[in-house]
Structure 1
Amino acid sequence: MKDNLDKPLDKSRREFIRKAVTTTTIAGIGASGTGVAADKGNNGQGPVKSDPFTLGIASGDPLPDSVVLWTRLAPEPLTENGGMPDRQVPVQWEIATEKDMNDTVGKGNVKARPEYAHSVHIDVQGLDANTEYYYQFKVSPDRSPVGRTKTAPAEGTDVDEIKFAFTSCQNYRYGYYTAHDHLADEDLDLAIQLGDYIYEGGAQGVGSLDRDHEPSHEIESLSDYRIRLAQYKTDSNLQDAHAAFPWIVTWDDHEVDNNYADAISQDNDPTQEFLERRANAYQAYFEHQPLRPSRIPDGPNLPLYRRFTFGDLAEFNILDTRQFRDDQVYTSEEAADLERTILGDEQEDWLVDGLNDSTSRWNVLANQAPFAATDQNPNPEVQNFGSGDKWDGYRADRERLLDVMAADPELNPVVITGDVHRNYAYNLKADFSDPDSETVGTEYAGTSITSGGDGSGITQYGPSHSEPWQRFFNDNRGYVRCTITTEQWQTDYRVVSTVEEPEASASTIASFTTDAGDPGANLASEPHAQPQQSAVEITEIRPDQDGDLNNEYAVAQNTGDTAIDFSEFIISFEGGSQNYTFGDFTLGAGETVTVRNGTGEDTESTLYADFGGAVLNNSNPDTVLVANDKGIVLAEASYAPV
């Protein structure tokens, strides 16, 4: 499929979204709205001061006849009560079919309440299916910007095309939301956020970036979570993206606490204490997202998994892999326990029943952590695999879903994934212990918006040694754009040149397609193809021994007949997490160069990466990569288990 979507969107729509416009008097007609929203303020019964719409506006959870409109009033967003008085505040809303808000189809009044941080969640009903609308809020005399939204097509109707994007992992302190700046210019039906909308830690801005976290400590109280979410919401690029199209959101761990599992915190806090923290986090999350009022949390519980059907073309199953999971484990033997669950019994039954009953052409699992087997060896005899955070640590759940995918050749399952701060494309195998088993689905994993800062740019096309079902890997930042038609799914990996500059450029680093009835990812386009003949080989590698980095090394050889300019080439240890970039260096024909992941004196044939820092566990097979000056992987080798 030809990629013609990189053309910039007409800027008039973007400028319109950013600009507040006047409206007529608002009175309720034919639509429902519910206002919910925060803790006691310090402004008594006084008036709302200054602009209350500092956190922008959003819409979400589109149905054929309904969409949720959201805003939160916060003239002083980084204060405990957002600068709002301790009273209910009337909010008027309006929805229309035209940008100038003249053709109004719904109006109403709602009360923004202090016990829910003066947020409003308006479930506008009675709308036409598959229709574009515009909306605006008013708190006299202030008017919000105008947002654009769109309802879903009616279930069972013919739909030719759906365009959407998905994002994840937007750590505020690691960089500018440049990706959101470009995302807001896309012409989409919806966007999906797959988790780590905020980060709970107290660490401050990275490098010279003036993006320190507020509050400066790790957040735990309701006030803390509100301020942190408000800080993220003040970003103008994020606001533009939310105002451009409806969003469907789900969470991962950092919305509460890193690597938490159900009622278990990473620090093993007392259960009741952690559940109180979870209740604070869930309430603040609800207050800041375009979720239906019916999803208001009940203490530490919030029913987040849900399903959206877009005509006869696609059904989106939005998963929650945090609230009901068993704790992470770190051996393959434990991971293979048939009783372990990442979804919980009720959610798994809901998902399986939905897949079995679906009549949609494409069936999407919107999911947090990698579903495919990664470099954690699927053999249950292998011990001490790395992170149990992924589906690798919940193999029984994964195998049951793979069985569902394999049973229906017309299901066309596609898993979209966040969390890992990298782009991946995977073929989902019926049995990951057998790479030659049937491909039963496709997984497209997206990189972070900013988390981790600028990546290495390393890009690999095709399988890796430890993941033969991999079809693509890339270490940049950005978002993923998808176009679905009856016959084909296209995924475009959109990456930004840097997260350290607000005006950075964006490009499509690769596009993949999946054909209906033929699962798996097929490379459609790439800007820098891997050379057909690579004269570089890795002839020897060794992992660190007893924590001594000088014992970890890789030897690369020029196997060709001419010298190779190695300037800006990369040798990457630990599966891409520790990268040595060559300076001005030439490798002669037949010559070798050794890079040691430690400290020492460089020679003509031995160089030292001088990383220092923590040593990663190499007890499993891991990889060393050699990439050229464009970041394209030329050679790869795997460590043997130690």
Structure 2
Amino acid sequence: MHRRDFLRQANWLAASMAWQQVFAREPARAVQATRAAWLAWQAPPEVFALGVASGDPGPGSVVLWTRLAPKPLQPEGGMPDHPVAVTWFVSRDERGLDVVQSGEVVTDTARAHSVHVEVKGLAGAATYHYGFVAGGVRSPVGRTRTAPMPQQEVPRLRLALASCQHYEQGAYTAHRDIARQDLDVVVFVGDYIYEGPAHHRRRRRAHPIDVEALEFSLPAYRMHHASYKLDPDLRASHAAHPWLMVWDDHEVFNDYDGQSAEDWTPEQFLQVRARAYQAYFEHTPLSPTRAPVAGHSPFHALRPWGRLATFWLLDTRQFRAPQPCHDVVHAPYRGRLLWRCDAAQTAARSLLGSAQEHWLADTLATSQSAWRLIVQTTQLSPGGFGTPWGPLAYADGWDAFPQARERLMRAIAEPRVPDVVVLGGDVHRHVAANLRLRPGDVASPIVASEFVTSSISSQGLSELLTAWMKRSNPDMLHARSDERGYALIDVDPQRVLCEFRATPHPVRADSIFHAQARYEVRRGVPGPQRVLAAHAVNVPASEPPAT
């Protein structure tokens, strides 16, 4: 049997088994009649209005995503209340003629007619194109890329680091810039949606739905995600590159801690969180291994990139301890500041939870990669404000977990884990910083490096407050909050080069991005160093793939 015939027969068998599970409880005659009627369903032309995406690239594998929703701003997306068969394909060309794998899956209302296909057996470090067909309608074609095989030598890894895209606070022009870049992967570090409306003074464009009227129900979260996906620049960014993703708070509720949040009892909030987690998975290209089960998710993960690098994807929300010291100072950026809060120093407090802390320390110590890239949601280096009466610390970040941060630094320093670069977002500013064994102590050795991206659209601090913060924290080598954007990062065996791409706030549809600053980390030398433009490697952007 030829390979293509074998794949066709295997795909038919897999689809048949899926249909059997759907109809297992119905009489045989009813099964045939119902199955025939449902297979005859014809999709509206706009059934793929939310586009296509890929993510969680592994060695020779990738996850393909779409969601059938011809009317995405309705609770059920305008889909019929029955299962639908979706055909998928992966090809070497964007026209879908040189197909290397294909198959059929069944989706239904329980998963909002979303589709997650984990395709394995592909070549490592290879570019592919993919698409879907449902009800006689073909989707746009996306472009994706697999990770290299475990022992594969890789000359370069190029990624975009992005975060914080409040729909109402600016256009997604940064995603248009990302879509045009020649990238291996987009690393998105949280706040994919914002669960609440922007303050009226910060609104730069109208939201497609009335966010203030939404309740924290599963249909509401689904409509919220769908409204973001209707942005053409965000869809283009997804269609152009595979994504690696971690979540932060706004995908659920602002500043939530593990199992608690303001205005909710723990029982109520866990129900809200379960709905938000489900909707998040339904709208993102995550591996099924990271899917939530009974309201909980095995979310943290390792993603190797050949011998060049390994990504640690961390969950900084699901297991974090509650915020201490309720008599907090309200900050101008809607967060909170802690002042003289002894409870924050408690050793048992953790941002990651003890199990994830141990997993991170163990896997860092045994890693053989040239570079170790820790992907988490916020700024790890100190970022408080110094005052004559003691520092003010951000209550929703690592500054409120000083003992947990020191444990992480010891996990890097004591086994002498080299070449660690921490990637973060959340704080709406571009940051390059030293990471020391004892954070904030300039006499302590530098053991790792940090790059934090600004926001796609969300407003940052004033430059006055940012300058105060920078004076208070000498390890913040670069910090600017006045511009929005993302970080373009090149990794090769000898260095990590970070270019902070930026444009003034608010981001407009015609905004132009420039290089705000460039920093590099040299192999074996922790700590970012400023790079002059003449010494930076400038790889030209490529045109986005046809979709």
TM-score range, shorter chain: 0.7 to 0.9
The alpha-carbon deviation at position 457 of structure 1 amounts to: 7.2
Residue of 116, 122, 134 corresponding to 1:121: 116
Counterpart of 1:133 in structure 2 is 128
Name the CA distance, whole Å, in 2 between partners of 1:284 and 1:52: 18
d(CA) in 1 for partners of 2:491 and 2:440? 31
CA change 1:219–1:315 in 2 (3 A) is farther
Is the partner of 2:472 in helix, strand or coil?
coil
Equivalent position SS for 2:105: strand
- Please state if 1:300 is matched with 2:295: yes
- The TM-score normalised by the length of structure 1 is 0.72
Residue 77 (structure 1) aligns with:
72
Give the letter aligned to residue 355 of structure 2.
Answer: E
Q: For residue 422 of structure 2, what is the aligned residue in structure 1?
A: 415
What is the aligned partner in structure 1 of residue 29 from structure 2? none
**Structure with max Cα Rg:** 1
Q: How does 1:306-317 map to 2 (within 5 A)?
A: 306-317=301-312
- Please list, as runs of the form range in 1=range in 2, the aligned pairs for 1:99-248 lying within 5 A after superposition: 99-203=94-198, 206-207=202-203, 209-211=205-207, 213-248=209-244
**Alpha-carbon deviation of 1:181?**
0.8
Change (3 A) 1:467 1:178: same
- Residues 275-354 of structure 1: pairs in structure 2 closer than 5 A: 275-329=270-324, 330=338, 331-354=340-363
Indicate how the Cα distance of structure 1 residues 433 and 124 shifts in structure 2: closer, same or farther if over 3 A, else same: closer
What's the offset of the Cα at 1:127?
A: 0.8
For residues 459 and 242 of structure 1, the distance between their equivalents in structure 2, rounded to whole angstroms, comes to 34
5+ unaligned residues in a row in structure 2: which ranges?
Answer: 1-6, 20-36, 325-337, 535-547
- Tell me if the contact between 1:35 and 1:122 (Cα under 8 Å) persists in the aligned partners: no
CA distance in 2, matches of 1:392, 1:244: 36
Letter in 2 for 1:249: M
Determine which of 482, 494, 498 is the counterpart of 1:491: 498
Code of the residue aligned with 1:200 in structure 2: it is E
**Secondary structure in structure 1 of the residue aligned to 2:177:** helix
Structure 2 CA distance for aligned equivalents of residues 278 and 514 of structure 1 = 38
Q: d(CA) in 2 for partners of 1:333 and 1:253?
A: 25
Please state how far the C-alpha of 1:212 moved relative to its aligned partner: 5.3
How many Å apart are 1:345 and its aligned residue? 1.1
More deviation, 154-163/117-126: 154-163
SS at match of 1:353: helix
Indicate how the Cα distance of structure 1 residues 397 and 57 shifts in structure 2: closer, same or farther if over 3 A, else same: same
Aligned residue-pair number? 491
Question: What does 1:597-608 correspond to in 2, within 5 Å?
Answer: none
Give me the whole-angstrom Cα distance separating, in 2, the residues matched to 1:312 and 1:29.
33
TM-aligned CA deviation for residue 465 of structure 1: 2.2
| Aligned residues with identical type, % of pairs | 37
Q: Is the 8 A contact 1:94 1:108 kept in 2?
A: yes
Whether the 8 Å CA contact 1:332–1:384 is kept in 2: the answer is no
Counterpart CA distance in 1 for 2:148 and 2:488 is 20
| Map of 1:399 onto structure 2 | 406
Q: 1:497/1:290 Cα in 2 relative to 1: closer, same or farther (>3 Å)? A: same
- Residue 569 of structure 1 is matched in structure 2 by none
Q: Would the alpha carbon gap of residues 30 and 67 (structure 1) be closer, same or farther in structure 2, given more than 3 Å must change?
A: farther
Secondary structure at the residue paired with 1:522? strand
Residues 213 and 468 (structure 1), Cα distance of their counterparts in 2 relative to 1, 3 Å cut: farther
Match of 1:554 in 2: none
Q: Could you tell me how far apart the structure 2 residues matched to 1:283 and 1:207 are?
A: 28
Match for 1:464 among 448, 470, 477? 470
Deviation larger for 80-89 or 400-409: 400-409
Contact 1:463 1:472 in 2 (8 A): no
The RMSD of aligned alpha carbons is 2.7
- Pairing 1:435-454 to 2, within 5 Å after superposition: 435-452=442-459
Of residues 437, 441, 460 in structure 2, which corresponds to 1:434? 441
Amino acid at match of 2:451: Y
Give the deviation of 1:361 after TM superposition: 0.8
AA aligned to 1:164 is L
Taking the aligned partners of 2:245 and 2:445, their CA distance within structure 1 comes to 32
Q: Does the CA contact (< 8 Å) of 1:463 and 1:469 recur in 2?
A: no
- 1:464 aligned partner, one-letter code: K
Q: Deviations over 1:409-438 (max 9, x none)?
A: 452111101100111111011112421211
1:284-341: CA deviation from partner (whole Å, max 9, x where unpaired): 0000011122332113211111011111111100001000000122344212111101
Contact 1:136 1:143 in 2 (8 A): yes
Taking the aligned partners of 2:9 and 2:187, their CA distance within structure 1 comes to 30
Return the letter of the residue paired with 1:255.
E
User: Counterpart of 1:363?
Assistant: 372
In 1, Cα distance between equivalents of 2:464 and 2:510: 22
One-letter amino acid of the counterpart of residue 225, structure 1:
Y
For 1:594, the equivalent position in structure 2 comes to: none
- Residues 1:48 and 1:216: Cα distance change in structure 2 (over 3 Å): farther
Q: Deviations over 1:388-414 (max 9, x none)?
A: 211111122111111122234452111
Alignment of 1:454-603 (within 5 A): 464-475=470-481, 476-525=483-532
The code of the aligned residue for 1:343 comes to: L
Q: Report what 1:617 is aligned to.
A: none
Q: Would the alpha carbon gap of residues 358 and 118 (structure 1) be closer, same or farther in structure 2, given more than 3 Å must change?
A: same
- Asked if 2 retains the 8 angstrom alpha-carbon contact of 1:214 and 1:227, the reply is no
How far 1:47 sits from its partner (Å)? 4.7
Unaligned runs of 5+ in 1: 1-25, 37-43, 528-642
Offset, 1:376: 5.2
Change (3 A) 1:332 1:208: closer
**1:476-528 CA distance string (max 9 Å, x none):** 1001110001111100000124544212111111100000100001000369x
Query: Judging changes above 3 Å, is the alpha-carbon distance between structure 1 residues 257 and 271 closer, same or farther for their aligned structure 2 residues?
Result: same
* Cα distance change, pair 201–463 in 1 and its aligned pair in 2 (3 A): closer
Q: Deviations over 1:525-546 (max 9, x none)?
A: 369xxxxxxxxxxxxxxxxxxx
Q: Is the 8 A contact 2:196 2:211 kept in 1?
A: no
SS in 1 for 2:219: helix
* Structure possessing the higher relative contact order (Cα contacts under 8 Å, 6 or more residues apart): 2
Answering whether residue 260 of structure 2 is matched by residue 264 of structure 1, we say yes
Q: Say whether 1:250 aligns with 2:250.
A: no
CA distance in 2, matches of 1:401, 1:435: 18
Amino acid at match of 1:72: R
Q: Name the structure where helix makes up a greater proportion of residues.
A: 2
Q: Secondary structure at the match of 2:180?
A: coil
Name the amino acid aligned to 1:465. Answer: R
SS of residue paired to 2:253: coil
Residues 168, 204 of structure 2: 8 Å contact kept: no
Among 55, 65, 86, the alignment partner of 1:91 is 86
Determine the C-alpha separation between the residues in 2 that align with 1:204 and 1:385. 25
Aligned-partner Cα distance in 1 for 2:508–2:500: 20
> Match of 1:149, SS?
strand
